[in-house]
Amino acid sequence: MKRREFITLLGGGVAAWPLAARAQQGAMPVVGFLSARSRDESAQHVASFQRGLNEAGYIERQNVGIEYRWADGQYDRLPMLASELVGRRVNVIAAIADPSPQIVKAATQTIPIVFAINGDPVRTGLVGSLNRPDGNATGVTIFGPDAVTKRLQLLHELVRQAEVIAYIVNPNNPFGDVEMDAARTALRSLGKDMLSVSAGSALELDAAFAAIDQQRPGAILIASDPFFVTRRDQLVSLVARRRIPAIYYLREFAEVGGLMAYGNRLADVYRDRCLCGADTQGRKAH
């Protein structure tokens, strides 16, 4: 899937002010970077983020600083980390994946926010509209619910005999219901039943698969969630032991042995968010 086929860039808005215009005169501007994921497993995407900044004319430690904050899959840490960045008085905050942008939005109404999310930014309260984001937030959305439908269609083509599909979701993600609703609707149209299984920690993942052992679904769909990316090795291993076909939402899962994945290239999302945030005020994204 090509980047322009699934990414919607939200142009205009306050967050499109150039970094230099937001910095204090004579001081190096500072970008806050908040992610629900972990530093080590996000290294390649941080490189893409930095590459996007470079293309916009900003080089880390030369003419821009970056303050990184990582929640390591623990969503309850995000409010504290967001408050740290706001207290640091950074010039702009790049917020990675739900629910990071919404938590930053609650922490500041003045610092520009550039986000990348999975769902609808209007529905989750980040922007007032897609045409004019307004407020202090703009960014990129991949409209994940549409991709959920496609994943289930692909899974159906692979395992037509599967009557029950297990859907593994993180209960700690307050915006997970959007994808779950899309999955339930898609499964209904395919004549399948859903087995919803929750897991928000490494131990809960083991317990979730114990429940799957009892129900024996015909296939598995993994919800789009930063925590699951941080635990992708564990997830893929748990699935492989049971020999149940599964589809994931990022190629990173397939790279560690997952059967198949359908979704966006995160490297493109990280890069494009930099270009969106460093663009001049009012310029429309294509």
pLDDT in tens, 115-157: 888 778 888 888 888 777 778 998 888 777 888 999 999 999 9
Task: Look up residue 189 and give its two tokens.
Answer: 């149209």
In a domain, 255, yes or no: yes
231 part of a folded domain: yes
Mean per-residue pLDDT, 21-38: 77
Could you tell me if residue 286 is inside a domain? no
Whether residue 191 sits in one domain with residue 54: no
Q: What is the DSSP letter of 57?
A: T
Contact 52, 116 (CB under 8 A): no
- The DSSP-derived string for 243-269 is T--EEESSHHHHHTT-SEE-S--HHHH
Residues 181-185, mean pLDDT to the nearest whole number: 94
Which pLDDT belongs to residue 180?
Answer: 92
Rounded Cα distance, 258 and 261, in Å: 8
Question: What's the mean per-residue pLDDT of the chain?
Answer: 83
Q: Is residue 111 part of a domain?
A: yes
Instruction: Return the higher-pLDDT residue of 276 and 59.
Output: 59
> Is the pLDDT at 198 greater than 80, yes or no?
yes
62, pLDDT greater than 80: yes
Do 137 and 250 belong to one domain? no
pLDDT of residue 130: 79
Q: Does 284 map to a domain?
A: no
Token pair of 267 as six digits: 């490297």
Amino acid at 79: P
Q: Are 136 and 96 members of one domain? A: yes
**Average pLDDT for 178-187:** 93
* pLDDT value for 281: 35
In a domain, 122, yes or no: yes
Domain that includes residue 253, residue range = 144-261
Per-residue CA distances from 100 to 45, 83, 173, 181 (Å): 16, 12, 10, 21
Residues 148 and 243 in one domain: yes
Helix (H, G, I), strand (E, B) or coil at 177: helix
Residue 204 has phi, psi (to 5 degrees) of -70, -30
Q: Tell me, what's the pLDDT at 26?
A: 54
Give the C-alpha separation, 96 to 184, whole Å: 26
* Residue 285 belongs to some domain of the structure: no
CATH code: domain of residue 46: 3.40.50.2300
User: pLDDT of 80-97, one tens digit each?
Assistant: 999 999 999 999 999 988
Do 175 and 207 lie in one domain? The reply is: yes
Q: Is 149 found in the same domain as 199? A: yes
Shared domain check, 154 and 250 = yes
Q: Which positions ≥6 away from 176 have C-beta within 8 Å?
A: 169, 170, 223, 225
Q: How confident is the model at residue 77 (pLDDT cuts 50, 70, 90)?
A: very high
Contact 42, 53 (CB under 8 A): no
Nearest CA to 266 among 116, 101, 103? 116
Same domain, 84 and 204: no
Band of pLDDT at residue 161, cut at 50, 70 and 90:
very high
How many structural domains does the chain have?
2
pLDDT score at 132: 77
User: Which uninterrupted H or E stretch holds 96?
Assistant: strand 92-96
Q: Are residues 23 and 133 in the same domain?
A: yes
Give tens-digit pLDDT for 236-260.
Answer: 999 999 999 999 998 899 999 999 9
Residues 24 and 129 grouped into a single domain: yes
pLDDT reported for residue 263: 82
Is residue 137 located within the same domain as residue 270? Answer: yes
Taking phi first (over 0 means left), then psi (-120 to 50 degrees means alpha), and beta for anything else, what does residue 111 get? beta
Per-residue pLDDT band at 10 (split at 50, 70, 90) = very low
Is residue 97 within 8 A of residue 25, CB to CB? The reply is no
Contacts of 40 (CB under 8 A, 6+ apart): none
- Does 160 share its domain with 235? yes
